[in-house]
Structures are given as structure tokens and as C-alpha cells.
Amino acid sequence: MVSIGMLLCRVGIHAWGRRRGYNEYASNVIEWEQRCERCGKRKQWIEVKKGRR
């Protein structure tokens, strides 16, 4: 029997765990990384820091 969790992963709904950010003072962006707790898929994105002028 296929678990519901894996089915959700198949259609792109992952169980994203805690996200980790790589914050460099020298740059004005934060690199985020998040992992699915079911299938282990990783996603990464970059966020521009706000509130600094």
C-alpha cells in the first residue's frame, strides 16, 4: 500500500521541514534551504534582505 505522504510528494506537496539560512553580512541576500522530511527533496531559494538602505 502506498502511503499518503508519498502520494503527496508525487504531486508536489512536500513536507518541508525547518529551513536553514545562510546569511552573509557582506551580501544583501540570504540563501535559504529546506528539505522534505518524507522524500528528502531539497529546495533552495534566495531572499533579498529588507530594511536596509
Binding site for Zn ion (CB under 5 A): 9, 14, 36, 38-39, 41
Alpha-carbon distance 14 to 35, whole Å?
9
First to last CA, the chain: 55
CB of 32 to Zn ion, least distance (A): 17
Q: For residue 21, count CB atoms less than 10 angstroms from its CB and return exposed for 0-12, middle for 13-18, buried for 19 or more.
A: exposed
CB of 39 to Zn ion, least distance (A): 3
CB of 43 to Zn ion, least distance (A): 10
**CB-wise, 3 or 26, nearer to Zn ion?**
3
